[in-house]
Amino acid sequence: DSRISKNQKTIFFVRHGQTEWNAIKRVQGQWNSDLSKTGERQAKRNGEFLEGQGIECLFSSPLERTRQTSEILKHYISLEPIYDSRIMEWDTGHWSGFMWEEIPKNWPLEYESWRQDPFNFNELGCESYPDMIERANPFVQELKLSKENTIAVVSHGIIGRVMIGLLLKHSEKEMVSYHQTNDTIIKVEMSGEKVKASHFIGGEGPYGGLPGTI
């Protein structure tokens, strides 16, 4: 019955492997940085994990680091990635390309404003969470209605929070309260109105709930 299949859905949210810029703490946003050797290993490990999960569809952000991750994953799950610009990473505006440690020195007031309210911060060309919700929500609604029941989505640390938060009906505080490392996959299972999350680290798990929640 097709109504049952639409109500039963499992989505694996994969963060791209570590990049050269992740390793040195440089702000990426929508700028490019290639996977490091560690990042390639993380993507392979996640590919090995996903191989046994019955993935029917693979979506990916079109940024280079997610493309490189998806190219590794497809060897394990035999699916061509479908690239969608709505799930590109948070646009970090003027901060893109700077070292994270430079941000509070160069923009002390804006940095403090961001720290106090990361959800609504939208200065210096940075996207706010409401901006990201607006662009990602149509994609999330399409995921919920898709004919495939087991889906992998390769994206990023911040936009990943947005998509997962939309599915879990997060508050502003909940949406910004956890961190998905480069080797973590978050699994969201939907059954009718019930939605639950678990996660895997380096292919190990499942661990209950979201990673690194306070």
State the catalytic residue, choosing from 16, 75, 170, 179.
16
Active site residue 199: no
CA atoms of 158 and 187, how far apart (whole Å): 16
Closest CA to 16 of 110, 152, 155: 155
CA atoms of 49 and 114, how far apart (whole Å): 36
The answer to whether the CB of 47 falls within 8 A of the CB of 200 is no
CA atoms of 46 and 152, how far apart (whole Å): 11
State the catalytic residue, choosing from 156, 170, 179, 199.
156
CA atoms of 197 and 210, how far apart (whole Å): 6
For residue 83, give the DSSP letter.
Answer: E
- 3-state secondary structure at position 28: coil
Active site residue 16: yes
The answer to whether the CB of 19 falls within 8 A of the CB of 34 is yes
The answer to whether the CB of 39 falls within 8 A of the CB of 60 is no
Q: Which residues carry out catalysis?
A: 16, 156
